[in-house]
């Protein structure tokens, strides 16, 4: 059978990508082939996203405990948000997810410039999201809705400490989300350069796919954050 005898086998030298004509330039030497490399990296990304689910899920668990404890304060807190800015941002982020998905598709088909354009569009919509978020942050800060010493909101004095708690979750959740967006935007810049250099194609589109998984995940987080932070019923009953 397949008994491998290695007596007298000359040690294989360090794999030199340039010297191996039959190897894809981006095949790392510890993988057998691009298929294995692709599956390993996609699986790795999914596992990373599962840590992200538990990461955001942890703070959401705390959020829900207090939402059940203090329903009124939560409704009043959500009423401090400008709901239509959140709605616009949701749509903007969904559009960026669509362009990201199309970027992956173009990479799969080996369309170099179409990939680049779609990645640029994703970056563009992502930046709009961050811009709107920044405007909201500035407004909240002015209104004294930043938790801690800067907190001056006192429309309903009895609820003020609990509303501060809501705003703590608001800033923590949206802040962590925005941090993920900023990291994603940085990655997009790098991917635009790589796509423009023609690194991706039907044989090797895994990195774009993984970038897409990350971006869509960040989108999903916002899909939940929007109703959780902007649209809690009972707001207009005050």
Stretch 3-22 residues interacting with another protein (CB under 8 A): 3-9, 11-12, 14
Nearer to another protein, 14 or 16 (CB): 14
Binding part of the chain for another protein, among 94-102, 128-136, 181-189, 191-199 by CB under 8 A, reads 94-102
> What is the pattern of x (binds another protein, CB under 8 A) and - over residues 43-82?
xx-xxxxxxxxxxxxxx-xx-xxx-xxx------------
Binding part of the chain for another protein, among 28-36, 135-143, 182-190, 192-200 by CB under 8 A, reads 28-36
Binding part of the chain for another protein, among 99-107, 120-128, 130-138, 189-197 by CB under 8 A, reads 99-107
Nearer to another protein, 16 or 32 (CB): 32
Stretch 151-210 residues interacting with another protein (CB under 8 A): 161-162, 164-165, 168, 172, 176, 202-206, 209
Give, in degrees to the nearest 5, the angle at Cα 28 between 26 and 34. Answer: 70
Strand partners, 201: 204
Q: Which of 16, 21, 32, 158 binds another protein (CB under 8 A)?
A: 32
Say if residue 216 is exposed, middle or buried (CB neighbours under 10 Å; 0-12, 13-18, 19+): middle
Rounded to the nearest 5°, which phi and psi values hold at 204?
-145, 80
**Cα distance between residue 200 and residue 206, in whole Å:** 8
Told to check if 137 binds another protein by CB under 8 A, we report no
Could you tell me the smallest distance in angstroms from the CB atom of residue 193 to another protein? 19
Say if residue 13 is exposed, middle or buried (CB neighbours under 10 Å; 0-12, 13-18, 19+): exposed
Could you tell me the smallest distance in angstroms from the CB atom of residue 18 to another protein? 19
Could you tell me the smallest distance in angstroms from the CB atom of residue 56 to another protein? 7
Binding part of the chain for another protein, among 122-130, 136-144, 185-193, 225-233 by CB under 8 A, reads 225-233
Could you tell me the smallest distance in angstroms from the CB atom of residue 53 to another protein? 4
């Amino acid at each position: 059978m397949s008994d491998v005898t290695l007596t007298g086998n000359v040690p294989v030298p360090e794999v030199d990508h340039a010297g191996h004509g039959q190897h894809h330039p981006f095949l790392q030497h510890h993988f057998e082939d691009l298929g294995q490399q692709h599956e390993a990296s996609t699986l790795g990304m999914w596992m990373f996203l599962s840590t992200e689910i538990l990461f955001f899920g942890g703070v959401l668990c705390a959020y829900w405990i207090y939402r059940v404890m203090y329903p009124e304060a939560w409704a009043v807190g959500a009423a401090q948000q400008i709901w239509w800015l959140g709605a616009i941002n949701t749509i903007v982020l969904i559009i960026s997810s669509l362009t990201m998905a199309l970027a992956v598709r173009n990479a799969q088909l080996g369309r170099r410039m179409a990939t680049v354009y779609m990645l640029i569009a994703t970056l563009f919509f992502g930046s709009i999201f961050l811009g709107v978020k920044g405007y909201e942050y500035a407004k909240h800060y002015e209104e004294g809705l930043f938790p801690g010493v800067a907190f001056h909101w006192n429309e309903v004095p009895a609820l003020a400490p609990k509303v501060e708690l809501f705003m703590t979750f608001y800033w923590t959740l949206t802040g962590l989300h925005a941090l993920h967006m900023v990291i994603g935007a940085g990655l997009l810049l790098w991917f635009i350069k790589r796509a423009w250099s023609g690194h991706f194609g039907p044989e090797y589109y895994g990195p774009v796919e993984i970038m897409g998984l990350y971006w869509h995940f960040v989108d999903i987080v916002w899909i939940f954050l929007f109703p959780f932070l902007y649209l809690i019923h009972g707001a207009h009953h005050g």
